Amino acid sequence: MSDKTQSDDHKQKMQERQAEQRLKVAQLEDPEKGLVLVHTGAGKGKSSSAFGVVIRALGWKQTVGVVQFIKGKWKTGERLFFERAGGVTWHTMGDGFTWDTQDKERDIAAAKAAFAKGREMMESGDYDLVVLDEINIAMRYDYLPTEEVIAALDARDPRTGVVLTGRDAKPALCDYADLVTEMTEVKHPFKAGIKAQKGVDY
């Protein structure tokens, strides 16, 4: 077989593959539909990955809302960055909140208030992307019913994408989501006695 024949065969195969790929893309559901992404698992990177999605959305001049279901006074590099850069509506659950508080009723109320804010963002149609950071922890502690969270996702504006982070994501949420990523810890510096580092861990 001559070089020209091989080249022609290769070109034809590539054209057939491209045509097949275009057909598959054309058959996909609405590409503008907002997706539900779940980042879970015991490894690091769940929130970091979510904020990478935020940066990507901002790059396309999309509107972003973030609700953090974590300790209110805990300053993180990503929060400081987005406060300076602008373009993100930011809400953090309850000043001084900790998951180890002795006042469970107060914590439930704080979680519900934060979720109400997130639900408002999701339903408003004003946001292309909403991040519910560490909401899986609130569900793990039964501060938020999983079925209530799924119902809110169902009621969101169809163009709004949502990222939910935190370990121990509920199976029902994972079944509902379009994408589920589980972070697996292979090695962690804390086990070698290295404390959390600014700019890497927070």
User: Which regions of the chain does DSSP assign to beta strands (E)?
Assistant: 36-40, 64-68, 88-92, 129-133, 161-165, 179-182
Distance of CA 48 to the CA centre of its chain: 9
Write out pLDDT tens, residues 31-70.
689 999 999 999 989 999 999 999 999 999 999 999 999 7
- Supply angle C-alpha 184, 186, 192, rounded to 5: 130
Q: Is the pLDDT of residue 27 over 60?
A: no
Closest-CA residue to 53 (of 136, 121, 130):
130
- Tokens found for residue 47: 């929130």
pLDDT at position 58 is 96
pTM score, whole prediction? 0.81
Which CATH number describes the domain made up of 32-192?
3.40.50.300
More confident residue, 197 or 48: 48
Q: In the β-sheet with 129-133, what is the strand arrangement from edge to edge? A: 88-92, 64-68, 129-133, 161-165, 36-40, 179-182
What ranges do the domains of the chain cover? 1-31, 32-192
Contact 136, 168 (CB under 8 A): yes
| Separation between Cα atoms, residue 11 and residue 14, nearest integer Å | 5
- The pLDDT of 71-79, averaged and rounded, is 74
- The pLDDT of 136-142, averaged and rounded, is 93
Closest-CA residue to 164 (of 6, 4, 46, 59):
46
